Copies of this chain bind each other. A is one copy, B any other.
Amino acid sequence: MKARQRNARGEGGQLREDILMAAITLIEKAGSCEGVSLRAVAKQAGIAAPSVYPHFADRDALLLAVLQKLFDELVELRTKAEEAAGSGAWERLRAGVFATVRFGLERPGHYKMLYEGRVISGLSDPKAATFGRAIQIRVVALIKDILAATPGREAEDAERLSLLLWAATHGVISLQINKPTLRWPKATTLVEELMRALIRPGAAAS
């Protein structure tokens, strides 16, 4: 791991990306960001521990950057899945939710960091709180569309339904990650049942 090439004059910033990637790799391997030491990240990146400091003020700043990057990644995954799902609101919503489920099950360590991580440090919390917001906004819009097209439910609170859907989805992913010894039915199927129960009650049994 020590065979790292020194970067050229203007490209010291390249290392920043490498450090982030190293941290992301280790966090997934460790299952969460706790216990991932700065030294381990440095070793994974092929550099000495103090070489992190020119790029990140301290360990918290590094973890916050990782959090940001992972959220961005999830938002993009979700966006692409929605776009690939066509134009129906229901299909788009389902595709987005499924994308999150897949993300969570394939990369449980990253998912836990995003949605089960405690406040990293006092100051960084308010910033981190806004990271996932983009998703929730689009979900509310989609649910509004679905409700508007469902006779008798036009006046229901889409915001509240989105919270319920989020909670239910997160619960399925979280339990499946944290209680892996139980035998779980297919997560996407469970989530689809929850979606139908909450948003399209008429089709509960698919």
Contacts and interface: CB of A to CB of B under 8 A. Distances in A.
A61 interface: no
B163 A167 contact: no
Interface stretch (A50-58, A90-98, A174-182): A174-182
B171 A172 contact: yes
Contact of A194 (B168, B174, B179, B204): B168
Q: Which of A160, A171, A184, A204 has the most CB of B within 10 A?
A: A171
A106 interface: no
Interface in A12-47: 31-32, 34-35
Contact of A167 (B31, B34, B160, B171): B171
Contact of A163 (B185, B197, B198): B185
A3 interface: no
A100 to B, nearest CB: 12
Given A167-B190, A168-B167, A117 B178 contact: yes
A34 B32 CA distance: 11
Contacts of A182: 129
- By size class, the interface of chain A is 35 or more
Contact of A126 (B34, B178, B181): B181
Contacts of A184: 163
Nearest to A161: B193
A116 to B, nearest CB: 5
Contacts of A170: 171, 174-175
Q: Which 3 A-B pairs have the closest CB atoms?
A: A171-B171, A167-B171, A129-B181
30 contacts: A31-B118, A32-B34, A34-B34, A112-B116, A115-B179, A116-B116, A116-B174, A125-B181, A126-B181, A129-B181, A163-B184, A163-B185, A163-B190, A164-B168, A164-B197, A166-B171, A167-B168, A167-B171, A167-B172, A167-B174, A167-B190, A168-B171, A168-B194, A169-B171, A170-B175, A171-B174, A174-B174, A194-B198, A197-B201, A201-B201
